[in-house]
Structure 1
Amino acid sequence: LPLPKLTVNPICNSPTVRTSAVGEILIDAHSQVRTHLLNDPHHKLPQVVPEGVIVSEISVDKPALDRQLALGHSPYRYICLGKDFHTFVGLQFVGPDAQSARYYWFVIWDDSNQGKPDFCPKTASKHQLYQFALKEGASFEPKLTEIMRLTNGDGVAILSLGIHDLVLEFDQLSRGHRIALVGDAAHSMTPFSRRGACHAMIDALKLGKAIGERGPDDIVEDLEEDTQEMLKRGNEAVLKSRTANEERAARE
């Protein structure tokens, strides 16, 4: 049987813009549909990860670009052992004349106050955020924090939503529907393990194979079996990603 016509609000600036989908199976990768499947629609998902985040971008000239490329051809990261503080620096793009480039960097630290209304970074000024980042990174070699010093605090912004992830149990979902959750809709995770996209592709490949091999008559039961396997695998990856920073720091 085809799905009833389902209308959802996409993420957009205008609340009047809507999209509709009609078909035998609805696949959700971005969580707009997930709320409709929860037995308790008031359950708060995803969960806030207790991490503070400061983000910035900066344009650099050719000499600074060369120094950054000597540290890493695209991204590089460094960890402050014993302080639960680390920084990630990434190359966004190189100018057409190769004489300049745009970089972004962010710092992450453990903070149990994340998600609370009075969480300090939400109320701090750009200058205060910038000074905090410089202070926490002061123990690193100067070449590793040059990109931060070049910023001068002008581009500093705060991710007010912080970092979230999602551990979703099969029993939290209603049954008997033709809707499949994949990717972030089922198991969004922190970027620390760098495996979120990999699991999303595994979800899609397994779901595509299942749909291709099975007929529409028993697809509901089969979708539930696939969902159980996916959530078990995804939840394990979510929990591992939460502690990936600490484990990597211990190895390094």
Structure 2
Amino acid sequence: MTRDFAGLAAVVTGGGSGIGLATARLLAARGATVACLDLDPTGVPDPLVGVTCDVTDTDSVTAAVATAASRLGGLDVLVNNAGIGARGTVEANPDAEWHRVFDVNVVGVVRTTRAALPHLRASAAAAIVNVCSIAATAGLPDRALYSATKGAVQALTLAMAADHVAEGIRVNCVNPGTVDTPWVRRLLDAAADPAAELTALRARQPIGRLVSAAEVAAAIGYLASPLTAATTGTVLAVDGGMHGLRLRPTATPPGDRPA
């Protein structure tokens, strides 16, 4: 495995599980020292550094980023991964829920980035990667609130890339499809027919299966790496072909075909 992150320090929000933890592990394996910011970082394994952080609280974010930068000896890479889901049409959620989800998914990115920027400006390999979603670009049923927040994250990514390119800070985002994470598994468990729901989610993606957290982490690693120093303002889909492919229906999904 390449050691392209050797000597670099990275912060991953929502790093306690799922995509965040997979990303933190990948960055560490490739040479970075990594802090995982999470509401509950107690399960973060060595050599990762767990730091308690609530991205909806400015004081908490400021303190967590300062702690991470102090313990890591600086900050070169920020992965804005913390986020929550929401279901329903525009009628389904009250104003308070709209404000709550936007506060985590969008303003949380703002708070963490704002706290990290002074440290990133001191880096010769500064990179920010925001974790967005296929929901930013595809109309998904029963996901109005969630989709609105992810559309905002994608637009924010491009604006940030323009604002900070002259400072040598690259900003990109990944748009995963449906990823096999603890959050998605909880949604499946709550469905009336979990098996049928899982089959539908698999079939929605042209590769015929869910995306893995490791696959999203690999895309984040690509965008954050000093080896891609010419890449900024990029939206990278990791969605099993969902955003661009229009396949004819088949009797057997690709993921179920024999090798």
The bucket for the TM-score relative to the shorter chain is under 0.3
Rg comparison, structure with higher value: 1
- Please identify which structure carries the higher helix content: 2
Q: TM-score scaled by structure 1?
A: 0.26
- Relative contact order higher in (CA < 8 Å, ≥ 6 apart): 1
- Please identify which structure carries the higher strand content: 1
